[in-house]
Amino acid sequence: MANLIGSEVLQAFSTYATIVVLKMLLMAPLTGYTRFTRKAFANPEDTAHGKTPEDKKKMLRADPDVERVRRCHQNDLENIIPFVIIGLLYALTGPDLSTALLHFRVFVGSRFCHTVAYVFTLPQPSRGASWMVGLISTLSMAYRVLSTVLVL
């Protein structure tokens, strides 16, 4: 056990996986913040601070800024979780530390760029390119996993 986490590649994986999952978790408070500043909620029980019933009803709406943050969060779920799964299996195949660090750093960096590009509406292809860079890192690790341990 102590041995397992003693592997430097697994330590590096743990570090980067934790950082990028924390980044993903922060999207929820960001959604909440955008909901409060835009006064746009999904649940009737969240509009209790409205003064009149009409006020409360008006707050039950979809706001473009809220939807943007939610799409960014969804994209994180669709990409960061596959990275963590494949990255863990990749770390267990015993790659060079420097190669592994390259994969982890490129992926995590690309996701921070993706979030900035999405939330601040930077012109394309900034968002598409950062998504693609992260995907290529994940695919490259998946190739290493399959070429090392293929048992069908």
Q: Which amino acid is located at 73 in the chain?
A: H
Among 12, 59, 66, 69, binds a copy of itself (CB under 8 A): 12
**Torsion sign over Cα 39, 44, 45, 48:** positive
Q: Cα angle vertex 103, ends 101, 104, to 5°?
A: 65
Cβ of residue 102: shortest distance to a copy of itself, in angstroms? Answer: 13
Smallest distance from a copy of itself to CB 42, Å: 6
Of 46, 49, 108, nearest to 83 by C-alpha is 108
Q: Which amino acid type is present at position 34?
A: T
Supply 44's token pair: 């009737």
Q: Note whether 135 binds a copy of itself by CB under 8 A.
A: yes
- Our finding on whether 18 is near a copy of itself (CB under 8 A) is yes
Name the minimum Å distance from CB 111 to a copy of itself: 14
- Rounded to 5 degrees, φ, ψ at 134 are -65, -40
Residues that bind a copy of itself (CB under 8 A): 1-5, 7-8, 10-12, 14-15, 17-19, 21-22, 24-25, 27-28, 42-46, 48, 67-68, 71, 73, 77-79, 81-82, 84-86, 89, 92-94, 121-124, 127, 131, 135, 138-139, 142, 145-146, 148-152
